[in-house]
Amino acid sequence: MSDRYVTLVNTRPGGMLARRVGLPRPVALERYRPGEPVIRGRVLVGGAGGEGVARPLLDALVGALGEAGCELATSVDDERLRAVVAQAGLDATVFNGEAPGEQRFKALVLDASGIADSSELVALHAFFHPTVRRLERCGRVIVLGRPAGECTSVRQQTAQRALEGFTRSLGKELGGGSTVQLVLVGADAHDGMASTLRFLLSPRSAYVSGQVIRLGGGHAGAGGAPEDAGAGQIDWERPYGGRTALVTGASRGIGEAIATTLAREGAHVVGLDVPALSGELQSVSARLGGEALELDITAPEAPALLAERFADGLDVVVHNAGVTRDRTLAKMPRERWSELIDINLSSQERIDDALLAAGALEAGGRIVCVSSMSGIAGNAGQTNYATSKAGVIGRVQALAPVLAERGATINAVAPGFIETRMTSAMPLAIREAGRRMSSLGQGGEPVDVAETIAWLAHPASGAVNGNVVRVCGQNLLGA
């Protein structure tokens, strides 16, 4: 399951060889270890556009970065931002593109929500041109924008949409394990950025790049603003303390990583899998100090059983269980189609309906579904699988406003090429293509998906609702 090529090119002779031959040289990605700070290194923050007007988002951004313990830096001539930083009681070094000295940054964060006209997009060049080369290895670029629904003019909406082309391209340029995201922050989500900023800045988001993430915008669940979930008092080391999470397909692969990550964050994890995988499930649950639940999610009695089991309340549901039954459509028997749709999509619908009807999902509850890159891009031989995974996306989009009314959220992750038993069984050429055809030039680890889910289901992520976030290293397919 390991990617020997990444290991090889990160040795001295291997790296030299790859350079000589002109092969890609993906870097070994930094990944989160418990107890680490959110980000190691300086964060250059800037604000573009909106001269002379109040910038509540910029204020909130600076506050959230400060609260996350970031070592800040600002442009030397951005007097407005220096004043904001001072007002927030934070320290920040200065950066002058004309006299950069030895300065390096771990992250570049630009609030571009003030850009209201295409002529102001030059601010992207002004901020990033002198700084992109100063980004450290596994660096982070985050651009904040405004949701289309909150733009008040055609020109503003045009300029804001333009940001997406910029971030997606920059993600493909950077290399060095660095990632780029666009975060569209609704006016109601200024105070709900903390968990998202922390995730995107930290090595937890190692394999997430080129994404557009929407915060708030009328669909926020509970836990976005500090008054909702007590983000001010949140224990960022163990945010899931006292929370119960159900993870389907928890016995191995990505599911096991999800269970492990949520348990690490303090959750009481109930791992579910089919009785055939009893042994593996039991050992995972024992290791995590959680519970094992042997159940076939497609069984007719499963929804009622689960609703009863969690009558006392359930905080997080992760619909991870899924299968592939690949075959081109012309050769695919009907049962191969139906069985997959039932496991990957219909059973989720039945279970959620039952849980919601029984009121088992707590206010502030979180549902996270595992979709797939195939569900977005489509894939030959996977009409059934892609149908189910695209259906999952539809569910997320349809349910988000419904759950928002209950103070809950639903989101999906769409993994790209993740190194699992499933991918190690692929033919070599396809496997290599899958790994390298992404901005990060390598496959992801199950933990990358798990960390992303832990962010989406985070108690402070109420502002994140109805999002489909790819964990694909900005794979070229369907991007």
- Is there binding between residue 40 and other proteins (CB under 8 A)? no
89 vs 279 by CB, closer to other proteins: 89
Say whether residue 427 binds other proteins (CB under 8 A): no
Selected range binding other proteins among 33-41, 51-59, 98-106, 376-384, rule: CB under 8 A: 98-106
Q: What residues have CB less than 8 Å from 181, skipping those under 6 apart?
A: 141, 142, 143, 167, 200, 205, 208, 209, 210, 211, 212, 213
Q: Does 83 bind other proteins (CB under 8 A)?
A: yes
Binding mask 101-120 for other proteins (x = CB under 8 A): xxx-----------------
The minimum distance between CB 103 and other proteins, in angstroms, equals 6
CA distances from 401 to 198, 405, 463, 466 (A): 25, 7, 12, 8
Q: Does 82 bind other proteins (CB under 8 A)?
A: yes
Q: Which one-letter DSSP state was computed for residue 346?
A: I
Please measure the distance between the N-terminal and C-terminal CA atoms of the chain and give it in whole angstroms.
Answer: 25
Please, which residues bridge with residue 366 across strands? 316, 409
Q: Is residue 95 a contact point for other proteins (CB under 8 A)?
A: yes
Give the residue among 453, 446, 447, 445 at the shortest CA–CA distance from 469.
453
For residue 96, count other CB atoms closer than 10 A to its CB. Answer: 12
Residue 450: count of CB within 10 angstroms of its CB: 27
132 interacts with other proteins by CB under 8 A: no
Cα–Cα distance measured from residue 375 to residue 384, given in angstroms and rounded to the nearest whole number? 10
One character per residue 224-263, x = contact with other proteins (rule: CB under 8 A): ----------------------------------------
Strand blocks (E) in 25-162? 42-49, 71-75, 92-95, 105-114, 135-145
Nearer to other proteins, 96 or 169 (CB): 96
Is 133 a binding residue for other proteins by CB under 8 A? The answer is: no
When the beta carbons of 102 and 312 are compared against other proteins, the nearer one is 102
Q: Which stretch binds other proteins (CB under 8 A): 91-99, 243-251, 348-356, 439-447?
A: 91-99
Q: Which two tokens stand for residue 21?
A: 């031959």
**In the block, which residue shows the tokens 């569910």?**
395
Which listed residue (32, 207, 240, 385) is catalytic? 385
Applying CB under 8 A, the site for other proteins has a residue count of 22
Q: Which is nearer to other proteins, 64 or 85 (CB)?
A: 85
| Selection from 159, 155, 177, 179 nearest residue 168 by Cα | 179
By C-beta, is 82 or 155 nearer to other proteins? 82
Burial of 381 (0-12, 13-18, 19+ CB in 10 A): middle
In whole angstroms, how close is the CB of 63 to other proteins at the nearest point? 14
448: Cβ–Cβ under 8 A, 6 or more apart, which residues? 31, 206, 207, 208, 418, 471
Nearest alpha carbon to residue 256 among 233, 232, 235, 279: 279
Residue nearer to other proteins on the CB measure, 91 or 227: 91
Strand pairing class (42-49; 105-114):
parallel
Q: Using CA atoms, how far apart are residues 92 and 71, in angstroms rounded to an integer?
A: 7
Which of residues 134 and 436 has its CB atom nearest to other proteins in the complex?
A: 134
Among 1, 7, 51, 86, interactor with other proteins by CB under 8 A: 86
Distance CA 3, CA 208 (A): 18
Binding segment for other proteins (CB under 8 A), chosen from 87-95, 144-152, 248-256, 285-293, is: 87-95
Do residues 77 and 106 touch, judged by C-beta distance below 8 A?
no
Shortest distance in whole angstroms from residue 47 CB to other proteins = 15
Give the binding range for other proteins (CB under 8 A) out of 5-13, 78-86, 302-310, 351-359. 78-86
207 has catalytic annotation: no
90 binds other proteins (CB under 8 A): yes
Cα–Cα distance for residue pair 83/54, rounded to 1 Å? 12
Q: Which of 13, 52, 89, 300 binds other proteins (CB under 8 A)?
A: 89
Q: Applying CB under 8 A, which part among 29-37, 76-84, 202-210, 311-319 lies near other proteins?
A: 76-84
Chosen residue from 35, 52, 98, 330 binding other proteins by CB under 8 A = 98
Nearest partner of 321 among 282, 281, 354, judged by Cα: 281
Q: Give me the residue label for tokens 């904040």.
A: 144
Q: Nearest approach, Cβ of 19 to other proteins (angstroms)?
A: 24
Binding-site member from 9, 58, 85, 369 for other proteins (CB under 8 A): 85
Smallest separation (angstroms) from other proteins to the CB of 101: 2
Residue 96 binding other proteins, by CB under 8 A:
yes
Binding-site string for other proteins from residue 139 to residue 158, where x marks contact by CB under 8 A and - marks none: --------------------
Q: Where does this chain bind other proteins (CB under 8 A)?
A: 74, 76, 79, 82-83, 85-87, 89-96, 98-103
As annotated, the active-site residues are 385
